[in-house]
Amino acid sequence: MFRRRNAGTADAAAEADASPSGAADSPAPDNPAVTAGKGRPTPKRSEAEKRRRPYTAPADRKAASRQYREREKAARSRRVEGMQRGEQWAMPPRDRGPVKALARDYVDAKRRFSEYYMYGLVVLLVMLVVPVKVLQDIVPPLVLAAVVVMAAEGFILGRKVKALAAERFPGESTQGVRLYAAMRALQIRKLRMPKPRLKPGDSY
């Protein structure tokens, strides 16, 4: 009787000892050296050598100067194109920010007397050259009237732009926006930089 109990107990102990060792001795993967893929094909030797090829400077100073001028010309062209599109990175500091963009849109959304100011100056210069006393006598009053009109329009335009910017962008600085809007209004529309995003009559 005691022998059977001891035998059963020994068998159970043997099974308990065998189970963890069996789990620990579970067979390893067939090929442990295989790793997960990189997700892209391995580059060819020629491509890898081409990537590692060091930069070679031009042999003489003229070639280096020519390369420098070409790089500068390409950078300027890229910057001008970006500025024409109104991209912030290409603009000078005076044109950056939402307040200045609003001022440009406000000016460009309407035809104003100021944008014809340059054309008027050309006409007045021609009148001065023409040897007709009547024309030469009326040029000074016309110049004075044009200056008064431009100053009044620029003053009113600057006040409206500053009030609108303070309303739409309360946390932004509006310093210099009045003069900025007035000077843009004096420019010929086709020559404005950055180029107008709005046509006359569009909402801003």
Residue 22 above 50 pLDDT? no
Burial class (CB in 10 A: 0-12, 13-18, 19+), 204: middle
Quick check: 178 and 161 in contact, CB under 8 A? yes
DSSP 35-85: ----SSPPPPHHHHHHHHPPP---SSHHHHHHHHHHHHHHHHHHHHHHHHT
**pLDDT one-digit tens code per residue, 95-144:** 889 999 999 999 999 999 888 988 988 898 888 888 888 888 898 899 89
Q: What are the domain boundaries of the chain?
A: 95-191
Quick check: 159 and 79 in contact, CB under 8 A? no
pTM of the predicted structure, to 2 decimals: 0.61
Q: Mean pLDDT of all residues in the chain?
A: 77
Residue bearing the bigger pLDDT, 65 or 21: 65
**pLDDT one-digit tens code per residue, 57-76:** 566 787 778 888 888 888 88
**pLDDT one-digit tens code per residue, 140-192:** 899 899 999 999 999 999 999 999 999 999 989 999 999 999 999 999 998 89
Both tokens assigned to 97: 């920010």
Quick check: 109 and 200 in contact, CB under 8 A? yes
